[in-house]
């Protein structure tokens, strides 16, 4: 009797991993389509409208890109931490605090626009780093789970922004009651576009730089070794604790810078308590699905942004927001399943030649349990 068995493989190569994710997404579109069809809608029409909204014209492409930037910034930040097997769930909070710090500079400092914007960027990155400082130290020196600490600080950041918008930096003259004052400076427009600024370049620059760092420098190598086995990294003389702190501060800084980029787009310039549309959450999903691969993050970030933008347009055409969220969920689940599937392959199992007990195989030494780790 021949049987088939799922076998876990340790090294899914990049190509089959990408194919599995795409296949998962395609499958998810099919499932979502069937569900839409059952509810009496025409799925092909909806998907076509969505696709047309995203790539059917310049405003669609620019609208998608505009929404991709904050997602990409938080996704790059999270991907960096994931390389070290650190889960920074708090990129949303770092993003908000970065934006808030940039806002503080923007409304209080006068000077040449480029210089103020530069200071805003630096201060935003520092604020994002500061926001993750305590979780970083706690994780590195006392093994406090960073998932919880970084997550909880998100809620603090949201309240801090609300306080600013209602209180200390409130714009008294504004018709909107919950809004801060406006920053008079905006980033330069990207030549040849209507809505985009040079902010678009930043996540690309970061992703390609980090891609190179991890491919060609000992710094990236060390971070990957810490992520793989911190004890082996310590055995190689790497100061694991310090690296954890530094990398976490950098990821916080990137997310904080993302906040400044969002704030400095024409038309934004002020903060309300809804300043971040959970960009950190989207960025986290992108980074997790890309498995910490920086170029994969770019592709995934644009994919999610295009889903969001298509959803926005479809809403104006009368499709319920709940259905749109349902479709998002199905598609992301499909990609996640593809990611898991890539780690397995089907193998044929030949029947066992004799009545050998199953536990005989795994032990290289006759008495594995006699070693006494002190």
Partner 1 sequence: MGAANAIEARAVSKTFGGVSALDRVDYELAWGEVHALLGENGAGKTTLSNVFAGIYRADAGEVLVDGASVDLRSPADSIAAGIGMVHQHFRLVEPMTVAENLHLGSPETPRLVDQRSLVRRSEALMDDIGLHVDPTAHIWQLSIGEQQRVEILRVLARGARVLILDEPTAVLTATETAELFGVVRGLVEGGRSVIFISHKLNEVLQVSDRITVLRDGRRVTTRGAAGATARELARLMTGEERELAVQRRAVGGAAVLELHGVSAVNGRGLPALHDVDLTVRSGEIVGLAGVSGNGQTELAEVIEAMRPTTSGSVVVDGEPVRAGSVRAVIDHGVGHIPEDRIGVGMVASAPVKDNAVLRCYWSDPEVSSGIRLRRAGVLAFAQRVVDAARVQTRSVHATAGQMSGGNQQRLVARREAMVADRVLLAAHPTRGLDVNAAQEVRSSIIDRRDAGCAVLLVSDDLDEVIEMSDRIAVIYEGRIMDVVDADEVDRERIGLLMGGHEVPA
Q: Name the residues that contact partner 1, by CB under 8 A.
A: 10-11, 215-219, 221, 224-225, 228-229, 231-237, 357, 359-361, 363-367, 369-374
Would you tell me how many other CB atoms lie within 10 Å of the CB of residue 67? 22
Q: How far is the CB of 235 from partner 1 (least distance, A)?
A: 5
Task: Give least dist CB 82 to partner 1, A.
Answer: 13
Nearer Cβ to partner 1, position 177 or 217? 217
CB of 36 to partner 1, least distance (A): 40
Tell me whether residue 141 or residue 235 sits nearer to partner 1 (CB atom). Answer: 235
When the beta carbons of 350 and 359 are compared against partner 1, the nearer one is: 359
Task: Name the residue nearer to partner 1 (CB basis): 231 or 348.
Answer: 231
Pairing state of beta strands 344-349 and 3-8? antiparallel
Shortest approach of partner 1 to residue 367 CB, angstroms? 5
Q: Which residues contact 12 (CB under 8 A, 6 or more apart)?
A: 20, 342, 343
Q: Between 8 and 348, whose beta carbon lies closer to partner 1?
A: 8
* The Cα angle at residue 81 between residues 79 and 84, in degrees rounded to 5: 115
- The least distance separating partner 1 from the CB of residue 20, rounded to whole angstroms, comes to 18
Q: Are 196 and 66 in contact (CB under 8 A)?
A: yes
Local structure of residue 229 (DSSP, 8 states): -
What's the token pair of residue 156?
């603090």
Nearer to partner 1, 215 or 345 (CB): 215
192 closest CA partner among 58, 82, 98? 58
End-to-end CA distance of the chain: 47
Nearer CB in complex with partner 1: 110/371: 371
Task: Return the structure tokens found at 21.
Answer: 């994710």
How many CA atoms lie less than 13 Å away from 13 in the CB half-sphere? 2
Task: For the CB of residue 224, give the shortest distance to partner 1 in the complex, in Å.
Answer: 7
- The Cα 26–Cα 335 span in angstroms is 9
| In the complex, minimum distance from the CB of residue 44 to partner 1, in angstroms, rounded to a whole number | 43
Q: 363: left (phi > 0), else alpha (psi -120 to 50), else beta?
A: beta
């Amino acid at each position: 009797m021949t049987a088939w068995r799922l076998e876990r493989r340790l090294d899914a190569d990049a190509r089959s991993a990408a194919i599995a994710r795409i296949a998962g997404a395609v499958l998810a579109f099919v499932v979502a389509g069937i569900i839409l069809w059952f509810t009496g809608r025409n799925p092909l029409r909806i998907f076509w409208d969505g696709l047309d909204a995203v790539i059917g014209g310049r405003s669609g492409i620019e609208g998608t890109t505009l929404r991709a930037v904050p997602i990409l910034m938080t996704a790059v930040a999270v991907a960096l931490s994931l390389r070290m097997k650190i889960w920074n769930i708090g990129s949303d909070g770092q993003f908000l605090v970065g934006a808030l710090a940039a806002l503080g500079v923007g409304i209080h400092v006068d000077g040449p626009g480029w210089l103020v914007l530069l200071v805003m960027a630096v201060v935003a990155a520092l604020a994002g780093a500061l926001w993750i400082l305590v979780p970083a130290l706690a994780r590195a020196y006392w093994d406090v789970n960073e998932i919880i600490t970084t997550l909880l600080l998100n809620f603090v950041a949201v309240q801090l922004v609300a306080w600013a918008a209602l209180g200390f930096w409130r714009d008294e003259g504004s018709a909107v009651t919950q809004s801060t004052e406006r920053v008079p400076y905006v980033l330069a427009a990207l030549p040849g576009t209507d809505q985009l600024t040079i902010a678009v370049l930043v996540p690309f620059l970061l992703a390609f730089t980090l891609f190179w760092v991890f491919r060609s420098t000992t710094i990236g190598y060390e971070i990957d070794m810490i992520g793989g086995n911190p004890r082996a990294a310590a055995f190689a003389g790497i100061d694991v604790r310090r690296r954890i702190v530094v990398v976490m501060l950098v990821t916080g800084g990137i997310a904080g810078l993302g906040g400044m980029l969002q704030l400095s787009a024409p038309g934004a310039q002020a903060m309300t308590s809804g300043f971040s549309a959970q960009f950190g959450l989207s960025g986290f999903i992108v980074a997790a699905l890309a498995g910490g691969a920086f170029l994969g993050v770019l592709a995934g970030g644009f994919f999610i942004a295009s889903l969001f933008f298509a959803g926005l347009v479809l809403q104006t055409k009368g499709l319920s927001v709940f259905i749109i969220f349902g479709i998002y969920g199905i598609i992301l689940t499909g990609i996640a399943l593809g990611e898991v599937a890539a780690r397995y392959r089907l193998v044929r199992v030949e029947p066992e030649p004799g009545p050998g007990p199953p536990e005989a195989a795994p032990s290289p030494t006759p008495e594995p349990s006699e070693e006494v780790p002190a």
